[in-house]
Copies of this chain bind each other. A is one copy, B any other.
Amino acid sequence: MKIKRLGEFGAIGRIAGLCRPPGREVRAGIGDDTAAFSHGPGLVLAGADMMVEGVHFDLEYTAWRDVGYRALASNMSDIAAMGGRPRYYMVSVALRGEEDESALMELYTGFEEAAGPHGMRLIGGDTTGTPGPRVVSVTILGDAGPKGVIRRGGARPGDMVFVTGTLGDSAAGLRLLKSGDLGRRPGAGKRSAKGAGGCTAGDMQHLVSRHLRPTARVKAGLGLGASGLVSSMIDISDGFSSDLGHILAESGVGARIEEDGIPVSGHLARCFGTRGALGFALDGGEDYELIFTARPRAAKRLAEICERAGAVIGITGVITKERGAYLVTGKGSLRELRPGGYEHFRR
């Protein structure tokens, strides 16, 4: 059935039927004026992110299910970057009405797939029509960890700059999706992935999946927050260079980053070469890995915490008193590391 036949209230009914019902701490949810939930002592965390068709997702190569998964994961990542626990989400969605109701079901299935492992529940939102690109606007609500929140502004000179996981896979996956290279043999065309040593279909699949199904580092963020050892933290949505820049600006410090310390996956290096991989890793964005800073002596303890949460960490550099971010290349030369990630409106 088309969504315009289903109608707004029919759509809301379908959504409520599909999503896991919240527990008793939620006194009002879908189908009331607002949601109402009880909250223990400590801070409430709240974040919001909007995704627009043609800007953040393209239905040509993204399933509705992946749109939902990715939209919620990116919001969960914001909570993770505060060292908090995501609890609830609300979704406002603008659709054209000509979509089949399966689009709606798939979208919310994607949300629930991202929400499920963390016990998160849908508690409200809005559905509306649009004559233009579809829009998915997510609000996420959560609790701060036991030691409060980790902000962007606490980095101190001498802190090490850590990062979870590997960087650049997501942006490379997006490039593959956009270029349509997935169907071709690697290296078959000018714009296609070209490996230093044999980019396989499995490598490409990995990169694409990192774009469509990013992992929010919720457990790692919680552990890092609870450790009391982390001075600042942010998640990578715009790109390592841009998001590190936010930490530096808020903290009033600079950084020296070692090119060799930027963690890239074998998949990425095989498909795009060392140089290409580094470009994606520094400026690509949508990795949803965490950048955080801490004293050098905390490194071992933080590595253990993250490992237990399923995340390997790397040391990429050091915070400096002198402002500005610099990249030390493999050959030892220094170049300025400018924010090269995505910024809206600038086109």
Chain A residues with CB under 8 Å of chain B are 3-4, 6-9, 11, 27-28, 31-39, 42-52, 54-56, 78-79, 81-82, 84, 88, 90-95, 97, 123-133, 135, 137, 139-142, 144, 148-149, 151-152, 233-235, 246, 250, 343-347
Q: What B residues does A346 contact at CB under 8 A?
A: 4, 7-8
Inter-chain contact B92/A50, CB cutoff 8 Å: yes
Inter-chain contact A55/B8, CB cutoff 8 Å: no
Known contacts A34-B46, A34-B82; 17 further A-B pairs (Cβ under 8 A) = A4-B347, A7-B344, A8-B344, A27-B148, A31-B246, A33-B47, A34-B78, A35-B45, A36-B149, A39-B39, A47-B90, A48-B90, A126-B137, A127-B344, A129-B345, A129-B347, A131-B132
13 A–B pairs (Cβ distance < 8 Å), ordered by A: A4-B346, A6-B345, A7-B346, A31-B152, A33-B152, A33-B234, A36-B44, A46-B46, A48-B137, A50-B93, A52-B94, A55-B94, A55-B131
Most B C-beta atoms less than 10 A away, residue of A46, A49, A234: A46
In whole angstroms, how far apart are the Cα atoms of A81 and B34 in the complex?
8
Given contacts A94-B52, A345-B4, contact A47 B28 (CB under 8 A): no
In whole angstroms, how far apart are the Cα atoms of A347 and B6 in the complex?
11
Most B C-beta atoms less than 10 A away, residue of A39, A55, A92, A133: A92
In whole angstroms, how far apart are the Cα atoms of A48 and B127 in the complex?
10
A275 CB → nearest B CB, Å: 28
Inter-chain contact A126/B27, CB cutoff 8 Å: no
Q: What B residues does A137 contact at CB under 8 A?
A: 48, 50, 92, 126, 135, 137
Q: What B residues does A148 contact at CB under 8 A?
A: 27, 36
Given contacts A8-B345, A34-B79, A137-B137, contact A46 B124 (CB under 8 A): yes
Q: What B residues does A144 contact at CB under 8 A?
A: 36
Inter-chain contact B139/A55, CB cutoff 8 Å: no
Partner of A49, one of B31, B92, B140: B92
Inter-chain contact B142/A139, CB cutoff 8 Å: no
In whole angstroms, how far apart are the Cα atoms of A82 and B37 in the complex?
12
Taking CB as reference atom, which chain B residue is nearest A11? Answer: B345
